[in-house]
């Protein structure tokens, strides 16, 4: 399951270029000093990874609640179905607009990012990365489903961390080389992303069905029955 997080990140980074690429390209790095530039970019990525890990931790706690009450299998199926549904019916998903409160938060994050991009302090790059991680992104939403299905805070945090780790190579290349992924190559990768998401969603569904297939659809975990026993105590 954790392998899917890295693959989400690697393939999703081609999508990220469109949203986060301009931010990475505009990082106020000191291009005259290669070693300093390296650590500045590293700080930026560390900020993003910390945010993703924090998000994974929160949704992992939610997943643990479902797991405790014996809903792990159902949760995995729901996560897989939602992944596939969003890919097959994107227009329906786009109709669900953010509430005013969330939109206000996102506006403030973007405003703060704009201010940080004008600075060159030692903590600037970490702050930019940290704020960058909170920007809405379709592939992040998919990874969040995986974090919930991980069923505990640590695994959820690790899932999102690995997702962020997978985005690092291409996002780093954007900083150094600019927008080098134009043309058919990027388009072909972006076309492959929905197919990959549907594939991962199918794996989540199979995992939830508990068909007894090793590594793909294992039988229902023992802890689920423990959760049932816990419920019977109330």
Q: What is the pLDDT of residue 74?
A: 84
pLDDT, tens digit (0-9, with 9 covering 90-100), for 111-132: 888 888 888 787 899 999 999 9
Percent of the chain surpassing pLDDT 90: 21
Q: What is the pLDDT of residue 193?
A: 78
As a whole number, mean pLDDT of residues 184-205 equals 78
As a whole number, mean pLDDT of residues 79-91 equals 84
Counted domains in the chain: 1
Chain center to CA of 183: 25
Burial 133-155 (b: 16+ CB within 10 A, else e): bbbebbbbebbbbbbbbbbbbeb
Q: What is the pLDDT of residue 229?
A: 38
What range defines the domain where residue 204 resides? 2-232
- Nearest C-alpha neighbor of 219 from the set 229, 232, 206, 230: 206
Q: Position of tokens 């969040």?
A: 144
Q: What is the pLDDT of residue 166?
A: 92
pLDDT, tens digit (0-9, with 9 covering 90-100), for 13-41: 776 666 666 787 788 888 888 899 999 99
Q: Does position 187 have pLDDT exceeding 80, yes or no? A: no
- Nearest C-alpha neighbor of 170 from the set 139, 214, 147, 198: 139
Question: In a 10 Å sphere around its CB, with 0-12 CB exposed, 13-18 middle and 19+ buried, how is residue 221 labelled?
Answer: middle
As a whole number, mean pLDDT of residues 147-173 equals 90
What does residue 121 show for φ and ψ, rounded to 5 degrees?
-75, 170
CA-to-CA dists, residue 7 to 2, 34, 78, 168, 212, angstroms: 9, 29, 21, 12, 25
pLDDT band of 99, cuts 50, 70, 90: low
Task: Report the C-alpha gap between 128 and 105 in whole angstroms.
Answer: 16
Q: What is the pLDDT of residue 222?
A: 40
pTM above 0.85, yes or no: no
- Do 146 and 4 touch, CB atoms closer than 8 A? yes
Mean pLDDT lowest among 52-56, 119-123, 157-161, 187-191: 187-191
């Amino acid at each position: 399951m954790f392998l899917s997080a890295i693959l989400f990140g690697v393939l999703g980074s081609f999508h990220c270029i469109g949203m986060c690429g301009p931010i990475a390209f505009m990082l106020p790095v000191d291009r005259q000093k290669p070693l300093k530039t390296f650590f500045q970019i590293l700080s930026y990525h560390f900020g993003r990874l910390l945010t993703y890990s924090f998000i994974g931790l929160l949704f992992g706690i939610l997943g643990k609640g479902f797991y405790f009450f014996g809903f792990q299998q159902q949760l995995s199926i729901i996560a897989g179905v939602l992944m596939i549904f969003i890919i097959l019916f994107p227009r329906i998903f786009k109709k669900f607009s953010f509430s005013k409160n969330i939109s206000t938060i996102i506006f403030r994050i973007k405003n703060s990012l704009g201010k940080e991009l004008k600075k060159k302090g030692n903590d600037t790059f970490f702050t930019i990365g940290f704020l960058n991680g909170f920007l809405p992104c379709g592939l992040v939403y998919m990874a969040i489903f995986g974090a919930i299905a991980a069923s505990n805070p640590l695994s959820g945090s690790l899932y999102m961390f690995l997702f962020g780790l997978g985005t690092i190579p291409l996002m780093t290349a954007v900083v150094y080389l600019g927008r080098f992924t134009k043309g058919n190559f990027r388009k072909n990768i972006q076309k492959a992303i929905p197919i990959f998401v549907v594939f991962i969603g199918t794996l989540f569904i199979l995992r939830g069905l508990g068909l007894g297939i090793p590594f793909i659809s294992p039988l229902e975990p023992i802890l689920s029955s423990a959760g049932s026993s816990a419920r019977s105590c109330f």
